[in-house]
Amino acid sequence: MKHLMIDYENIHRANVNNIPADTHIWLFIGANQIAPSIEQFDFLFQHFGAERVNIIKVYWAAPNALDFCLSYHLGKIIQSDKEAQVWILSRDQGFNVLVKQVCMEEKNNKVATAINLADAIEKINAFHQPQNAPTDTPPVAETPIQAAESTENPTEEQNNKVVVHLSSEQLNRQYMARTFGLLREAAKSNLLTFKRREILETNLARHFKQKIWQNAPEIVCEDADLQQYIHQAINRSIERGFIVENENGTLTYLFGDDDFVAHAQRHYFANPDVLPKKTHAALSQLKTIANMWNCVPLEETAQNWLQKFQEKQLLWVCGQSVSYVSENEARDMELKARFLSRLNSEMGVKFSPNTQSALKKGIREKAAEALVSLSEQEIYKIVANLINSKRVFVNGDDLMWASRPAPSNHYNNGNAPKKNFYNKKNQDPTRESWERVLHMMKSPNRPSSLIALRAHLINSLSSLNQTESDIDRWVRKLVDEGYVFIEAESGRVIYR
């Protein structure tokens, strides 16, 4: 008997007028799908007969639930009728694996898949051709591996596709490109976690057999050749630096975007004497590098790399011209970057002048010692960044560093008796904080602005782990209890 199994999840419309009337129709409807209309059911019953129409509704909305249900009924059909002719109408390529397994185990060459109704009708007619009749179509159930082994001509029609047999060198290039693309996509999706080379090669071989061969029969080969091609492709990735194999055999993958920029930079600047001077020539060279690594799209990738080089100040693009940084300039830029990083770590710790003029003078002296040339504008920018990030507070020309500890006599005016606030036992932290604030108010060098006042409070209460909200609370309390008055517009502090 003939059976047509329709996957209604991805085949919603099919004109079955040309299907033989003695065919059994199996319509599989997903859990979240709307069933066909009454008119459509009536047509099926009238054309094929009610006894030949089977409606299978899947009630569970689980992944691949319909596929498993269809596979179950396919097994029942071929178990009850060894000569059954079955066509699965679906765009799901996963059914190809099911058909291959059935054909191999049941030795049944009358089970096939079709992606549309025209394809199904063509395969139905092929089943009914005499065995000695000439045909342009090979046996429907023949797998790509079997077709590759039985082919004598370099080009023949196979499964409605022209299969071209490639030479060993062409196959090697194909597997190089496809392996590299697979590794890159897996790395970008965080799926590339194989730490051993043999595990990576095994999984790549399995992926080629199950996913790629059915859509690219021209690269089908023997298992031994497949392993050799994959082995060579991984070696090439290691030579290019995209895979690093450690001494203990552990693999590290460098397929990220930043890694590609670094690789492109190394190849682009490999010969400084012949760097392109025009924008179109630079983009052409970058597209050549991108094509070598199978980057798609080439134009977008080349533009992105050129922009990255400009952000790194390796080159400048002005209209249609490209200019490059000399080796001396590049060395000076790297030296300056290291100096600024070291200076930033020392600010407020090893280097904390009390005035702005001393700070600028100290920066000039340190830059001269490090053989770094800084302009006045760059020095001004360093100081401005310190103020904006609240690492230092300004009161006129005076500076107060947020990370610098308060001096030992900060809470005494020289005449009042000294009190050891740090060694009091069972002292209430809130009361201790307030007492420190009041003693700070007696200092002869009281701050004259709100910013400086907050800086004084931060330093005074540094050992008590006060937060920003705590500092604001003490400022409000000083105002509420009449110790100070703060002008709203200028931020000036007036003491009472």
| CATH code of the domain covering residue 44 | 3.40.50
What's phi and psi for 213, nearest 5 deg? -60, -35
Q: Which two tokens stand for residue 441?
A: 């108010």
Rounded to whole angstroms, the Cα distance separating 28 from 259 reads 48
Rounded to whole angstroms, the Cα distance separating 110 from 104 reads 12
pLDDT tens for each residue of 291-350: 777 666 788 888 888 888 888 778 888 778 888 876 566 667 777 888 888 888 888 788
Is residue 390 a contact partner of residue 399, using CB atoms and an 8 Å limit?
no
pLDDT at residue 241, rounded to an integer = 81
pLDDT at residue 328, rounded to an integer = 64
Picking from 401, 435, 451, the residue at the C-terminal end of a domain is 401
Q: Is residue 414 part of a domain?
A: no
pLDDT tens for each residue of 346-399: 887 888 888 888 898 999 988 888 888 888 888 888 888 888 887 888 877 788
Handedness of CA 436, 442, 444, 449 (dihedral sign): positive
Q: Which two tokens stand for residue 209?
A: 């057999």
pLDDT at residue 315, rounded to an integer = 83
**How far is residue 299 from each of residues 14, 217, 303, 381, measured CA to CA in Å?**
42, 30, 6, 38
Q: Is residue 227 part of a domain?
A: yes
pLDDT at residue 133, rounded to an integer = 41
Q: Is residue 157 part of a domain?
A: no
Note the helical H segments in 278-326: 279-292, 298-311
Cα-Cα-Cα-Cα torsion 342, 345, 348, 350, nearest 10 degrees, comes to -60
Partners of 85 in the beta sheet?
2
Q: Is residue 149 part of a domain?
A: no
Picking from 303, 325, 347, the residue at the C-terminal end of a domain is 325
- Residues 6, 125, single domain; the answer is yes
- Residues 109, 207, single domain; the answer is no
- Residues 468, 480, single domain; the answer is yes
Rounded to whole angstroms, the Cα distance separating 243 from 231 reads 13
Q: Is residue 147 part of a domain?
A: no
**How far is residue 117 from each of residues 4, 10, 12, measured CA to CA in Å?**
10, 12, 11
Picking from 373, 401, 429, the residue at the C-terminal end of a domain is 401
- Residues 314, 335, single domain; the answer is no
Q: Which domain holds residue 226?
A: 168-253
pLDDT at residue 128, rounded to an integer = 57
User: Identity (one letter) of the amino acid at 275?
Assistant: L
Is residue 156 a contact partner of residue 137, using CB atoms and an 8 Å limit?
no
Which of 77, 14, 20, 25 has its CA nearest to residue 54? 25
Q: Is residue 427 part of a domain?
A: yes
Handedness of CA 310, 316, 317, 322 (dihedral sign): negative
Q: Is residue 246 part of a domain?
A: yes
Handedness of CA 64, 68, 69, 73 (dihedral sign): positive
Q: Is residue 148 part of a domain?
A: no
- Residues 427, 462, single domain; the answer is yes
Is residue 400 a contact partner of residue 452, using CB atoms and an 8 Å limit?
yes
pLDDT at residue 165, rounded to an integer = 58
Hey, how many other C-beta atoms are within 10 angstroms of the C-beta on 54? 13
- Residues 113, 191, single domain; the answer is no
pLDDT tens for each residue of 465-477: 677 778 888 888 8
pLDDT at residue 272, rounded to an integer = 76
- Residues 11, 99, single domain; the answer is yes
- Residues 377, 489, single domain; the answer is no
- Residues 135, 175, single domain; the answer is no
Q: Give the contacts of 155 (CB within 8 A, at least 6 positions apart).
A: 162, 163, 164, 165
- Residues 6, 137, single domain; the answer is yes
pLDDT at residue 459, rounded to an integer = 72
Low-confidence ranges of the chain (pLDDT < 50): 130-163, 405-427
- Number of separate domains in the chain: 5
The domain that holds 349 is classified in CATH as: 1.10.10
pLDDT at residue 438, rounded to an integer = 78
- Residues 16, 127, single domain; the answer is yes
- Residues 209, 94, single domain; the answer is no
Residue 125 sits at the vertex; the CA angle it makes with 100 and 151, to the nearest 5 degrees, is 50
